[in-house]
Amino acid sequence: MTPLAFEDIAARLAAWRFPAGIDGVVGIAVGGVVPAALVAQRLGVGLKVIALNYRDDANEPRHAEPTLLSAVPDLGAWRRVLLVDDVYVSGKSWHAARALLPVEVEVLPFVLKGKVDFAMIRDIDGCVQWPWRVC
């Protein structure tokens, strides 16, 4: 497991070019809450959370499909949002969350780590120890 310093994550976020015109950020709980809060603060927009559970603490799937654990947030007048998670492995959590949001809302992806073009960290293989996560 590779530890990442908060300062490194903050510097990467400061340098990241986010799309223009974002109305708000939706974080996928549990892992995406802190990243979503950091992104919302960086963009100066609101934050909402949707709670799904798919993986256990060892990062292994615990359900066949992600399970909704909260109400779906009311996005109000938001028409263009970033849907944020900590990592993108299979994409199941991200796609499950997207499917629960209104179809008329443009939902753009952002994750801290993954092998996808919308991941901020693509240069570290394996699992990451986030500074906000207690083991």
- The pLDDT value recorded for residue 67 is 77
Whether 21 is in a domain gets the answer yes
- The structural domain count of the chain equals 1
pLDDT band at 99 (very low <50, low <70, confident <90, very high): very high
Determine, yes or no, domain membership for 45: yes
The pLDDT tens digits of the residues spanning 36-52 come to: 999 999 999 999 999 99
Is position 10 within any domain?
A: yes
Residue 112, domain extent: 2-129
Can you tell me the mean pLDDT for 17-32?
95
- pLDDT higher than threshold 90 for residue 101: yes
The per-residue pLDDT for range 59-87, each reduced to its tens digit, is: 666 766 777 888 999 999 999 999 999 99
User: Which pLDDT belongs to residue 63?
Assistant: 67
Distance CA 66, CA 91 (A): 10
The answer as to whether 99 is a domain residue is yes
Whether residue 106 lies inside any domain: the answer is: yes
* 135 within some domain: no
Within-domain flag for 26 = yes
- DSSP alpha helices (H): ranges in the chain? 6-15, 33-43, 92-100
Question: What percent of the chain clears pLDDT 70, i.e. is strictly above it?
Answer: 92
pLDDT at 43: 97
What pLDDT does residue 127 have?
Answer: 86
The CATH number of the domain holding residue 100 is 3.40.50.2020
What the block records as the tokens of 13 is 């976020």
Query: Rounded distance, CA 98 to CA 127, Å?
Result: 24
SS3 of 70, please? Answer: coil
Flag whether 134 is in a domain: no
User: In this structure, how many other beta carbons lie within 10 angstroms of the beta carbon of residue 44?
Assistant: 7
Phi, psi of 117, deg, nearest 5: -70, -15
At residue 57, the pLDDT reads: 66
Q: In the predicted model, is pLDDT for residue 54 greater than 70?
A: no
